Structure 1
Amino acid sequence: MKPTIARLAPLAGALAFAGLAHAQADKPLYPQLPTETPAEFAAPTASFNYVKRSVMIPMRDGVRLNTVIIMPKGAKNAPILLTRTPYDASSLTSHAESNDLGSILQGYDNAADVIVEGGYIRVVQDVRGKYGSEGDYVMNRPLQGPLNPTPVDHSTDTYDTIEWLTKNLPETNGKVGIIGISYDGFLPLMALVNPHPALKVAVPMNPMVDGWKGDDWFHNGAFRQINLSYVMEQVVSRKNEAKWFTSNYDDYDMYMRAGTAGELGRERGVEQSGFWRKILAHPSYDSFWQQQAMDKILAKQPVTVPTLLVHSLWDAEDIYGAVAVYKAIKPNDKDGKVHLVLGPWSHGGGIGDGSSLGAIKFGQDTALHFRQEILRPFLDRYLKDDTSAAPIPTVSAFETGTNKWRSLNAWPAGCNSGCAIKPVALRLAASQKALLGAPANDKGYDEYISDPAKPVPFRQRPIPPYGYDEAKGQSWPRWLVDDQREASGRTDVLTFTSDVLTAPVKISGEPVANLIASTSGTDSDWVVKLIDVYPDQVGSQPAMGGYQLMVSGDIFRGRYRESMEVPHAIAPNKPLAYRFGLPTANHVFLPGHRIMVQVQSSWFPLYDRNPQTFVPNIFWAKPADFKKATQRVYHSSFVELPIVEAVR
């Protein structure tokens, strides 16, 4: 039907009115005050002692990575210290609005005092897919290969970044170091794969290394469900805008109400994340995890870059990685390039105040000692060619108990000469006794009922949410030094305690749990904790009387007793051997103290509950699968202690 003139008239009127309205919109109806905001503000920086700029550095596939470059004013012939991060390079280099370089780098930044005093050019870069960088984000992006068919990974991105920096910063001497903590510590390990010739130093601090065996996602097959909030916030958006919410004041109640980690992830929408779907699909130690394990990868690489691995003895997140990498790459170190530091810290504690951790006091700032006496000369020696910088020991290990730094030629090692490490059995004997060096001649057992409806809390309730803000009660980083008395009083926790020691007992290395145990169920978790029990009264610090300090502890999921790759049901009521390593310790049990071992079958909600009925995938266990079980620990069980003894 053709439009008539009558029908067109209203349309013409409407168009005319719209044009008039547009013309009137261009001209204010009322008088306006002139704006007081400049079109573009140029901040005066003449008083600043640094120059800061952000650049987009192109990678070989065309993706550009946001990179913040900060250099002292007047820098010449200066080395570069690089950190690559998924945690927002811009905010990590803006801790204060200040004209002082030290002020803007304080906070999370890695050893800001050493960086500022050393005159380094500081470079912090967003990894691809996070914050200001282009590209797609993949959690712990694997190297090129079966898990990554693309031509780019963190190794190539680091190489391309260093190439650009050395060619475009005339202020540099052409030497680059890379340093970082946790995820940022995983990235220096990636840089060691086919490293750029200008990379002269790597400092992985508390690095993520093997997400299944003992770092962020699992420990020996038990899922660390408390990290669910991190997974969601880190992977569902580029700038971490999505926030985890708590539904209960006590995290224990929140996780119990959900039932399983799989169900809680579904409730919070985490399944929209590709990484969470990978976790759900790979609960066992299959090729997905094995091919990403950085200790396995680096064991096949030549050692060409001086590397300082930094480990925290009470690391609540990545207690496995640094020592595992040291053990993997040290055999390939022909020129003494690989070094290890063991400090009495929580996760990342080497950059803060190391005078104490929770209630445990060390009598010195151990972290300051690390930064000034170990890290600083190490960086100076290789990035500045400073021949006056003293060479650092192969291993610098803080000895807890005596609270002394030890300079060692190897690890594990109790000393450099005149001693040896001897594995000695600490028997879990009758009458709740822990007997050092006793023979296995007792066929008895102790037992308890493990009830998934009442799992053992991993710390005293109410349990605050995972986080680092002490003002919000988020004391997560130091929970490993919590007093373990809360657990020792429960009927579903076995305790075995030595007599009062009359002589010091020193351990250096990895204690190994050797349980002979049975369960009436068809699956079970086993938690073993090695504990230093303080004297009943401590005059210098009364609150430490009877304190139970966990020196080392870990969990093992029973379904992986026969194979880590393929789970198997446990034969009920049959004594079976479970052998698994506990985290590295360097500790002296002092005279007047006692040694305790605690054994339990849940550590909640740090780890997801084992239903104690074998199911294909615990993430999707049903309420009916969760059943009580009778757990028996036989007196032939023991913890193998790496005891340091004098050589006769």
Structure 2
Amino acid sequence: MKFTKSFFLPVLFLLVSSLGFAQTEIDFKVEDHYNKREVVIPMRDGINLHTTIFSPKDTSREYPILMTRTPYSSRPYGKDQFRSILGPNEYLMKQGNIFVYQDVRGRWMSEGVYDNMRPFIPNKKGKQIDEASDTFDTVEWLLENVENTNGRVGLWGISYPGFYATYSLLANHPAIKAVSPQASIGDFFFDDFHHNGAYFLSYWRATALFGYEKATPSDTAWYSFPDLKTKDQYQFFLDAGPLKNLDKYYGEDNVFWQQLKEHPNYDEFWQKRGIVQHLKDIKPAVMVVGGLFDAEDLYGPFNIYETIEETGDNFNMLVMGPWSHGDWARKRERQAIGNVYFGDNISENYQKEVETLFFNHFLKGEADASVPLPEAYMFDTGLREWKSYAAWPPKEAEKKTYYLGDKQELNEQVADLSTMAQGAEEFISDPNKPVPYSEDIKMVFTPRKYMTDDQRFAARRPDVLVYETEVLEEDLTLAGEVLAKLQVATTGTAADWVVKVIDVYPPDAEDYEETQDYLSMSNYHMMVRSEVIRGRFRNSFSDPEPFEPNKKTEVNLQLQDIHHTFKKGHKLQIQVQSTWFPLIDRNPQTYVDNIFEAEEEDFKAEKHKVFHDSKIIFTVLE
């Protein structure tokens, strides 16, 4: 921000819960305090969108409108059917607001054709539509047809609804005063189904959710998920073989599966579905929220905040907590990700002290810079405490470089870089025996727990390179981006590169309640951050190119931001590998134009090298 502020369907319902909508027992019945109204709102092209409005029964005062737009259904349908909780949290519900839920175009009870990540049209003419125009038209209708409004509108959403909340910033409606995109997708080639060009195979089952179109409004699911008849996803995908063999589960009627296969590169199809590049000169107040261990959408929150900050002079803040996807909207006493515990009542405190304050100030209060919230409210996942900053990354943070040296050493000081550059560690990468991303034997809809998982199982494999510091003599705080600048070579013509940042606990670390029975926190290798790049995209995500066999080549990999203190007595470790299965699909390591069309014979084991002048550049806060 540019001004100064003071600091201080069973499957469906499971999915909605997993995407972060709070499910909580509260001594408050919505139907006792709110009237429900279901309407269809006409868009400028004549399509009607199903919309549910909950208005306070107390009409003695005026209320702002808080709206979310969703592809996941505005259920429950029916005038006598009520949600158990309204809005982002129970505090906003109890204090009184007009809450609006809308099925987006082409989904559930709304008319029209659904377009997955519908492209934004900057200069719409006539009856041209996008999600920004649908938002504008909805707000206009609500202000004209809903009583007891104060004329201010706010939007929020988590995950895909977060994308629609981000999209609302482009509606340019003067009544929209506050928007909170939470776990929002920023660009579909870097969030969710792709990471730097690598296809996230672990999301494959979710293709059913987004790929099947419907012709008419429906209050029941028109799609189904494939029955895989196994609980072992690693073995299922390994047995399935090349990606083309998965066509038997999704046919041509699954539009999204066809799009994934037909557009393996960052071409115009994906580029125009990005929302980040359009976020210029934003006017409403914005609070971007995300989880530092969000496996689905970590790229989006950081990049949405940063992009808005570059050109806007609006209130724009960032909140990142020790959460997985949508945890901040749930209520649980102990906040943990997998085996690692971070503290008590973290989500509830955020809901009460941050989220409620934000919306109340801009929708009911002064709506100015006097709001007592910091620019960046960030949880240190090593110290397990909140920090407030005037900027993100903190202005006082500095860049420090560590080299992937000989003898598994992670070195800050290098005596002779030219000599060091000649040496390398090497390993055989076999796509037919890929490195697992988790020790757990499971079949998940989307993976989450792995973001803090113990990485000892990987460190002990010959196809994973390990580099680590000595035991730290003082705390080391990383606060910002991480850039891996690898120098590599391969005997093949294609390869993926995975970099993991790991906090190695001391031998006397005590177990948490959440620590799995077969594990111990003694010497636990906690993954703090990880990322992958498909090597063919090292120079351009639009124009892939093969590796020249045995030629030393630079591959740069940007990891998402970290806010983590590696405490005295711990060690900082880096792992480098080339398979990460079945989180991502297998790279044949033989260059083919489209890996979705690769044949079994294309998959070959190759020798990879990582040279000792490879380096990791951290953002360090002294």
1:6-45 to structure 2, matched below 5 A, reads none
| Cα offsets for 1:184-232 (capped at 9, x unmatched) | 00001111113211111110000011111x2012111100122221121
- Code of the aligned partner of 1:523: A
- Give the Cα separation in 1 of the matches to 2:605 and 2:107: 45
User: Are positions 1:553 and 2:530 aligned together?
Assistant: yes
Go from structure 1 to structure 2 and tell me whether the alpha carbon gap of 1:91 and 1:436 turns closer, same or farther (over 3 Å shift): farther
Go from structure 1 to structure 2 and tell me whether the alpha carbon gap of 1:134 and 1:540 turns closer, same or farther (over 3 Å shift): closer
| Cα offsets for 1:227-262 (capped at 9, x unmatched) | 221121232144343222223220111111222333
In structure 2, the partner of 1:223 is 199
User: Are positions 1:62 and 2:46 aligned together?
Assistant: yes
Is the 2:318–2:375 Cα contact (8 Å) retained in structure 1? Answer: yes
In structure 2, the partner of 1:406 is 387
In structure 1, the partner of 2:267 is 286
- Give the Cα separation in 1 of the matches to 2:485 and 2:121: 38
| Cα offsets for 1:338-377 (capped at 9, x unmatched) | 1111111101111123622222222332222221121111
User: Are positions 1:172 and 2:152 aligned together?
Assistant: no
Is the 2:119–2:274 Cα contact (8 Å) retained in structure 1? Answer: no
User: Are positions 1:538 and 2:518 aligned together?
Assistant: no
User: Are positions 1:232 and 2:208 aligned together?
Assistant: yes
- Give the Cα separation in 1 of the matches to 2:448 and 2:554: 33
In structure 2, the partner of 1:433 is 409
1:26-105 to structure 2, matched below 5 A, reads 48-75=32-59, 76-91=61-76, 104-105=83-84
- Code of the aligned partner of 1:116: M
> Alignment partner for residue 575 of structure 2, among 598, 608, 615?
598
User: Are positions 1:308 and 2:287 aligned together?
Assistant: yes
User: Are positions 1:372 and 2:352 aligned together?
Assistant: yes
| Cα offsets for 1:436-471 (capped at 9, x unmatched) | 34353513111111001101111114132225xxxx
1:498-509 to structure 2, matched below 5 A, reads 498-509=469-480
| Cα offsets for 1:541-572 (capped at 9, x unmatched) | 49311111111110011111222111111001
- Code of the aligned partner of 1:351: A
In structure 2, the partner of 1:260 is 242
Q: Name the SS for the 2:227 alignment partner.
A: coil
- Code of the aligned partner of 2:495: S
Go from structure 1 to structure 2 and tell me whether the alpha carbon gap of 1:240 and 1:371 turns closer, same or farther (over 3 Å shift): farther
Alpha-carbon distance, 1:601 to partner: 0.4
Alpha-carbon distance, 1:487 to partner: 1.0
556-565 vs 149-158, which moves further: 149-158
- Give the Cα separation in 1 of the matches to 2:187 and 2:30: 47
1:67-146 to structure 2, matched below 5 A, reads 67-75=51-59, 76-91=61-76, 104-106=83-85, 111-144=88-121
- Give the Cα separation in 1 of the matches to 2:266 and 2:92: 39
Q: Name the SS for the 1:584 alignment partner.
A: strand
In structure 1, the partner of 2:444 is 465
Alpha-carbon distance, 1:526 to partner: 0.4
- Give the Cα separation in 2 of the matches to 1:627 and 1:639: 29
1:371-390 to structure 2, matched below 5 A, reads 371-385=351-365, 390=371
In structure 2, the partner of 1:246 is 228
Alpha-carbon distance, 1:146 to partner: 11
Alpha-carbon distance, 1:269 to partner: 2.2
Q: Name the SS for the 2:575 alignment partner.
A: strand
Alpha-carbon distance, 1:150 to partner: 6.8
What's the TM-score, normalizing by structure 1? 0.85
RMSD over equivalenced CA pairs, Å: 2.4
Is the 1:506–1:586 Cα contact (8 Å) retained in structure 2? Answer: yes
> Alignment partner for residue 306 of structure 2, among 327, 333, 336?
327
- Structure 2 gap segments, 5+ residues each: 1-28, 215-220
520-529 vs 632-641, which moves further: 632-641
Q: Name the SS for the 1:355 alignment partner.
A: strand
- Code of the aligned partner of 2:192: D
Q: Name the SS for the 2:289 alignment partner.
A: strand
In structure 1, the partner of 2:21 is none
Q: Name the SS for the 1:328 alignment partner.
A: helix
In structure 2, the partner of 1:277 is 258
- Give the Cα separation in 2 of the matches to 1:387 and 1:566: 46
- Code of the aligned partner of 1:446: E
- Give the Cα separation in 1 of the matches to 2:371 and 2:537: 47
- Code of the aligned partner of 1:262: K
User: Are positions 1:155 and 2:136 aligned together?
Assistant: no
Identity of aligned residues (%): 36
In structure 2, the partner of 1:452 is 431
Go from structure 1 to structure 2 and tell me whether the alpha carbon gap of 1:141 and 1:269 turns closer, same or farther (over 3 Å shift): same
Go from structure 1 to structure 2 and tell me whether the alpha carbon gap of 1:638 and 1:117 turns closer, same or farther (over 3 Å shift): same
Go from structure 1 to structure 2 and tell me whether the alpha carbon gap of 1:306 and 1:47 turns closer, same or farther (over 3 Å shift): closer
- Code of the aligned partner of 2:434: P
In structure 1, the partner of 2:6 is none
Go from structure 1 to structure 2 and tell me whether the alpha carbon gap of 1:277 and 1:604 turns closer, same or farther (over 3 Å shift): same
- Code of the aligned partner of 2:295: A
Q: Name the SS for the 1:582 alignment partner.
A: strand
> Alignment partner for residue 581 of structure 1, among 558, 581, 587?
558
Alpha-carbon distance, 1:83 to partner: 0.3
User: Are positions 1:423 and 2:423 aligned together?
Assistant: no
Go from structure 1 to structure 2 and tell me whether the alpha carbon gap of 1:74 and 1:363 turns closer, same or farther (over 3 Å shift): same
Alpha-carbon distance, 1:282 to partner: 1.4
Alpha-carbon distance, 1:290 to partner: 2.0
- Code of the aligned partner of 2:318: L
Go from structure 1 to structure 2 and tell me whether the alpha carbon gap of 1:399 and 1:461 turns closer, same or farther (over 3 Å shift): closer
- Give the Cα separation in 1 of the matches to 2:455 and 2:443: 17
Q: Name the SS for the 1:377 alignment partner.
A: helix
Is the 2:490–2:551 Cα contact (8 Å) retained in structure 1? Answer: yes
> How many pairs are equivalent?
575
Alpha-carbon distance, 1:148 to partner: 12
Go from structure 1 to structure 2 and tell me whether the alpha carbon gap of 1:92 and 1:518 turns closer, same or farther (over 3 Å shift): farther
62-71 vs 325-334, which moves further: 325-334
User: Are positions 1:297 and 2:281 aligned together?
Assistant: no
Alpha-carbon distance, 1:292 to partner: 2.2
Is the 1:233–1:244 Cα contact (8 Å) retained in structure 2? Answer: no
- Code of the aligned partner of 1:423: K
- Give the Cα separation in 2 of the matches to 1:272 and 1:539: 52
| Cα offsets for 1:598-641 (capped at 9, x unmatched) | 11101111111000000010011000000000011111111111
- Give the Cα separation in 2 of the matches to 1:187 and 1:623: 40
> Alignment partner for residue 512 of structure 1, among 479, 483, 494?
483
- Code of the aligned partner of 1:580: L
Q: Name the SS for the 1:48 alignment partner.
A: helix
- Give the Cα separation in 2 of the matches to 1:144 and 1:450: 44
- Give the Cα separation in 2 of the matches to 1:183 and 1:362: 26
- Code of the aligned partner of 2:457: E
Is the 2:452–2:527 Cα contact (8 Å) retained in structure 1? Answer: yes
Q: Name the SS for the 1:233 alignment partner.
A: helix
Larger RCO: 1 or 2 (CA < 8 Å, sep 6+): 2
In structure 1, the partner of 2:23 is none
Q: Name the SS for the 1:362 alignment partner.
A: strand
